[in-house]
Amino acid sequence: MNKFQRVTPSVYILMSTYNGDKFLAEQLQSIENQTYQYWKVLISDDGSSDNTLNIARKFQEKWGDDKLQIRQGPQEGFCRNFLSMACDPTIRADYYAFSDQDDVWLSDKLERALSYINKSNESKLPVAYGGRTQIVDETLKPLSLSPDFTLPRSFRNSLVQSIAGGNTQVFNQATKNLLEQAGIVEVISHDWWLYQIVQGAGGVFYYDPKPSLLYRQHSNAIVGANSSIRARIDRIFYVFTGRFKNWNDINYAALYNNRRLLTKDSQDILELFGRFRGAKFKDRIRLLEVCGLYRQTWQGTLSLWLATIINKI
């Protein structure tokens, strides 16, 4: 019996890769250094043309096939790649963790995440964990911390904001069951979708105010940190250009098509959200308050009101 077969709960780490040879070895090494050792890794590669697969195979030789598996991804973008793993019913463990290819996990990341998740004492309830990150440059020099979101996590919040990067997220089997039932949907990002579906189904989303990883910023990154002043200005710009509205169009459609998975309360909120988005000005203002939508910061809430006023939500 190997370590992964023991009674100790297992974690399946789902990693999406694409031309990530520059930093992949550091990320895999940080996984190897975890204080919680009952894990294995699935790398879904989206058609890398650099040395990514060679690096992955070297770690596979070192760890063994039972600890690291490699497969071909759908090659339709990072979100579809992550969902292809999260929605695959043949992938089974007690818990699951999303992983980017270019971060460095702090040694207690998995141990801390499981401690949070196990607070619920309800294995049938969808439970997920996410949190802050230490933002660093290419050389791992600290730059800043991601925002500390202190308002309650809720479906009302999830409709208009994603609060935790997928690189921080860990979730239980009940959450994976939800993702499988929904299937590979068209959404803006896998991490925002996970927050929405967990909260919408009456689950629990824990937010860790203490960073669990080093979130590397570099020129080849597909998605960067959103805590800078420039990022905040960009979010206002997204409102005026209609990009925020387009995101909501896509996410709303995915939620509406899977409303059977939501609680009755969440279904009612989603129905109000749909009415609110298509209402006339005076009704939009009223329905925004009735719907109870909010973002985690006053700047975010201001942009939400702005989007409502100019009908870009």
Q: Are residues 292 and 176 in the same domain?
A: no
Q: Are residues 107 and 241 in the same domain?
A: no
Cβ pair 296, 151 in contact under 8 A: yes
250 phi and psi angles, rounded to 5 deg: -70, -50
Residue 224 in any domain: the answer is: no
Per residue in 106-160, pLDDT (tens digit) is: 999 999 999 999 987 777 899 999 999 999 999 999 999 999 999 999 999 999 9
Residue 31 in any domain: the answer is: yes
Per residue in 232-246, pLDDT (tens digit) is: 556 666 676 778 899
Which domain does 20 fall in, by range?
Answer: 8-216
Q: Are residues 38 and 80 in the same domain?
A: yes
Q: Are residues 211 and 240 in the same domain?
A: no
Q: Are residues 152 and 260 in the same domain?
A: no
Q: How many domains does the chain have?
A: 2
Q: Residue 226: its pLDDT value, please?
A: 54
pLDDT exceeds 70 at position 228: no
Per residue in 11-41, pLDDT (tens digit) is: 999 999 999 999 999 999 999 999 999 999 9
Last residue of a domain, one of 191, 216, 241: 216
Rounded CA gap, 164 and 156, in Å?
Answer: 16
Q: Residue 1: its pLDDT value, please?
A: 46
Q: Are residues 121 and 186 in the same domain?
A: yes
pTM above 0.75, yes or no: yes
Average pLDDT score over the chain: 91
More confident residue, 263 or 7: 263
Q: Residue 31: its pLDDT value, please?
A: 98
Residue 2 in any domain: the answer is: no
The encoded tokens of residue 294 equal 């909010």
Cβ pair 59, 168 in contact under 8 A: no
Residue 221 in any domain: the answer is: no
Last residue of a domain, one of 182, 216, 250: 216
The encoded tokens of residue 15 equal 């990693």
The domain spanning residue 68 has which CATH number?
3.90.550.10
Q: Are residues 91 and 162 in the same domain?
A: yes
